[in-house]
A = this chain, B = another copy of it.
Amino acid sequence: MLARLNQHYLTTKHPEKPTSCRTISSGNLRTPRVIKTIALAIGGVAAYGAYCIFRRPDSRAIVEADPSKKTLVVLGTGWGSVSLLKHLDTSRYNVLVISPRDHFLFTPLLPSCAIGMLEGRSLTEPIRRILSKEHGSVKFCKASVSKIDYANRVVHINSNDKVSFDLLVVGIGAENATFGIPGVKEHACFLKELEDAREIRQRVINCIEQASQEQNDTELERKLHMVVVGGGPTGIETAAEMRDFFRNDVQRLFPKLSDKVKVTLVEALPSVLQMFPKGLIEYTESKFLAEQIDILKNTKVKRATETHIEAEVTQPDGSIKTEMVPYGVLVWAAGNAVRPVVRDLMDQLPEQASSRRGLLVDEYLRVKGTQGVWALGDCTATRYSATGQVAHQEGAYLAQFLNNADANAGEDMARSQLPPPFEYTHQGSLAYVGDGCAIADLSVFGKNMPFAGALTHILWRIAYIKMCISSRNQYFIAGDWLGPAIFGRSMSTN
């Protein structure tokens, strides 16, 4: 009855639209109702199946801290810390997790999120939800760490609170490296947190909206020029996703603008995607050429203004040319820098004096010059690259370390029974290069094998769905991928 009423409400009996128009605008009428009903019924069955399979965990009683156990403070909620927490037998310690970010972020899909393929919620897993599955006393404190005082074994949080620790794991990542280049902090978008992705999306859409009303051709071209600095996977994927968005969605909604939109990738080194084998780099470059994404190699940004970047291009003959490149949106994905709180900890430890890239750790991930302090992920200076994969394995390794350690042996507990040193097992690198194609450099039976193309993109998606840390993320990401495939990406700044 209600359904009928609302159907009535929607079509609004009195003000009839001329029949010719109505047939066009109400697409729902094209398909026989019975097919729709069957589709909905199948969907309902599938949904109920999913509900039975993935139903949420039962609630858990809060366990108070046990004074006989050591206090393990974990800083950060990124790949390293969350992997540690998921693998740790938390009942052995009083665990306190401190982070200003109350969720884990699935960083590899951040470029997709920036360009409207995915919603922020799909990439995040509330840390409270992760911790609610752990046993023992596990607490979370939403706060920024202002100082790690190693001598007093205290972490200062917010403005004036302190937390003591027996054992400490530092997994607070890195900040964006701007290399002191003037104007970058003020004018560029970064791509580390969810807010960054939202910011990029809004700026891109605002540029297109403004360009659609722009009379001046130079201004028009500037507004439609998207510049991505950094030729790593993040930069490559951001450029590729932007190009897809322009080709598919902007093309449809702004046909007049679409051939004026330009994407440029700027890289200071002579090559992009340095961690990939040569064949895949060449594949990516040819793909970008076909998609009309310019790659400026050997190009260093010297300054950024609100509308331009000043770039120094090293010519093949070694001479240097300075260019002013106008841009509408500038995305900065040029690597990591040490966070001030990590820098401060390093200054407290003479053993860290030689390091500039981050905390030095030994082969057991112990911070050099400390006892009972470990570090993992992007805040460390190791021979591994700064990826979620490395941090994830480090977290799992450290969990095993702490699960087997004799928690009562005091500060020196680790020395008596050292496990094998941490060894990173590279599973492979993936990158989406646009137009439905991806590249993959996978480790198969110990050998690295390159893959590229549309099939690799399907593998790329399966791999990321598999890598999600919760069924909840899998559910939402799959739903998000299907949505834009049917309805197109969202062309609004919400």
Query: Is A349 close to B, CB under 8 A?
Result: no
How many chain copies?
Answer: 2
Q: Max chain B CB contacts within 10 Å: which of A47, A252, A428, A492?
A: A492
Query: Is A414 close to B, CB under 8 A?
Result: no
Query: Residues of B contacting A8 with CB < 8 Å?
Result: 427
Complex CA–CA separation, A12 to B83 (angstroms): 10
Mark each residue of chain A from 30 to 67: 1 if its CB lies under 8 Å from any CB of chain B, else 0: 01000110110011011101110111110111100000
Closest beta carbon of chain B to A190's beta carbon, Å:
16
Q: Max chain B CB contacts within 10 Å: which of A46, A89, A440, A494?
A: A494
Query: Is A407 close to B, CB under 8 A?
Result: no
Mark each residue of chain A from 187 to 212: 1 if its CB lies under 8 Å from any CB of chain B, else 0: 00000001000000000011001100
Contact: A6 with B466, CB < 8 Å?
A: yes
Complex CA–CA separation, A27 to B55 (angstroms): 9
Query: Is A256 close to B, CB under 8 A?
Result: yes
Given contacts A14-B425, A135-B21, contact A39 B46 (CB under 8 A): yes
Contact: A7 with B466, CB < 8 Å?
A: yes
A residues neighboring B (CB under 8 Å): 1-3, 5-10, 12-18, 21, 24-25, 27-28, 31, 35-36, 38-39, 42-43, 45-47, 49-51, 53-57, 59-62, 83, 86-89, 102-103, 119-121, 124, 126-129, 132-135, 141-143, 194, 205-206, 209-210, 213, 251-253, 255-256, 389, 392-393, 396-401, 403, 420, 423, 425, 427-428, 440, 442-444, 459, 462-463, 466-467, 470-472, 475-476, 479, 482-483, 485-488, 490-494
Q: What are 23 A-B pairs at a CB distance below 8 A?
A: A2-B463, A5-B427, A16-B400, A21-B87, A21-B88, A21-B89, A24-B133, A24-B135, A27-B133, A38-B49, A51-B485, A54-B487, A59-B255, A102-B209, A103-B490, A128-B253, A128-B491, A129-B253, A129-B488, A129-B491, A471-B487, A472-B483, A475-B483
If A16-B400, A42-B46, A476-B479 are given as contacts, then 6 extra A-B residue pairs at C-beta distance below 8 Å, sorted by A number, are A1-B442, A15-B400, A25-B86, A35-B53, A47-B482, A124-B494
